[in-house]
Amino acid sequence: MCELLGMSANVPTDICFSFTGLMQRGGRTGPHKDGWGIVFYEGKGLRTFKDPQPSSQSRIAQLVQEYPIKSCAVVSHIRQANRGGIALENTHPFTRELWGRYWTFAHNGQLTGYKKLKTGRHKPVGDTDSELAFCWLLHELERKYPRRPGNMAAMFRHVATLCDQLRTLGVFNMLLTDGEHLMTYCTNNLHWITRRAPFGPARLIDEEVEIDFQKETTPNDIVTVIATQPLTNNEQWHKMQPGEFSLFHLGERIAGNGAA
């Protein structure tokens, strides 16, 4: 299994605090020692940092923790390999272009019988079930929507039905973003929290770090953080239900099938 971390915000926000907690699970407080990656969107562009090394020992992870990159959409993943060897090409998140946008995907879980999924022109480069599932999603989306659909909410609802099919193959917890929308799909382990004024202090579970968001934010900021397991122990995180999907935009949950 692996751990996922995502963020959606209405103003460029740095994720150093949450990332610091997650990174400890990469070989120190958690067993996820088989690589890590994080993608930050800035407009339509993105930055990716990846390492097949344990995140708790990665020099690049250290830079990401210390260097506040501000973004409205972030997807991160730390890996405990099951399908696919420990290699850079098997390190999440995966990014591909569709409809003139970069789409970024990260998966937690394990699938069986996934090799029969048809991916068309979207060929996997590595040999993980996750990347193949992502290629299949892109292939299915391109089949149904040859051009970028006007109604993105409907498109994401269709993605959720595709995720329902993947869930029949095993455990499929997912983060998917085009840099503007952030979609989550849950099989068994995914939590989220939306922070907005009045902001308070937050305390990490995995590291002796506390932050007072009051000092870091402005009253209009809205920031949602999604994680496999809650990262703080003094806030109320929502646990997502099996088969639940949520769509976040500028920090707000704007669609979904579960209880918000």
Both tokens assigned to 29: 């407080």
The region, left, alpha or beta by phi > 0 then psi within -120 to 50, assigned to residue 219 is alpha
Q: Which of residues 100-129 bind its own copies (CB under 8 A)?
A: 100-102, 121-126
∠ CA 165-257-37, rounded to 5°? 65
Torsion of CA 19, 68, 247, 129, to 10 degrees: -50
* One residue of 28, 29, 65, 142 binding its own copies per CB under 8 A: 142
Cα 120 to Cα 92: distance, rounded to the nearest angstrom: 21
Could you tell me the smallest distance in angstroms from the CB atom of residue 10 to its own copies?
19
Cα 67 to Cα 14: distance, rounded to the nearest angstrom: 9
Active site residue 2: yes
By CB under 8 A, tell whether 150 contacts its own copies. Answer: no
What is the identity of the amino acid at 236?
A: Q
Active-site residue identified among 2, 135, 163, 186: 2
Size of the site for its own copies (CB under 8 A): 33
* One residue of 16, 83, 99, 235 binding its own copies per CB under 8 A: 99
**Nearer Cβ to its own copies, position 93 or 256?**
93
Q: Which of residues 66-95 bind its own copies (CB under 8 A)?
A: 67, 87-91
Cα 187 to Cα 110: distance, rounded to the nearest angstrom: 11
Could you tell me the smallest distance in angstroms from the CB atom of residue 102 to its own copies?
6
**Nearer Cβ to its own copies, position 125 or 197?**
125
* One residue of 1, 11, 28, 42 binding its own copies per CB under 8 A: 42
**Nearer Cβ to its own copies, position 132 or 202?**
132
Site string for its own copies, 46-65 (x = CB under 8 A): xxxxxxx------xx--x--
**Nearer Cβ to its own copies, position 46 or 163?**
46
Q: Indicate if the alpha-carbon torsion angle 38, 40, 45, 49 is positive or negative.
A: negative
Part in contact with its own copies (CB under 8 A); list of ranges 42-50, 74-82, 186-194, 200-208: 42-50
Report which of 20, 79, 19, 21 is spatially closest to residue 53, judged by C-alpha positions: 79
Distances (CA, A) of 72 to 9, 179, 180: 5, 7, 8
Q: For residues 36 and 63, is the Cβ–Cβ distance under 8 A?
A: no
Q: Which of residues 177-206 bind its own copies (CB under 8 A)?
A: none
Catalogue the active-site residues.
2
Residues lying near its own copies in the complex (CB under 8 A) are found at 42-52, 59-60, 63, 67, 87-91, 96-97, 99-102, 121-126, 142
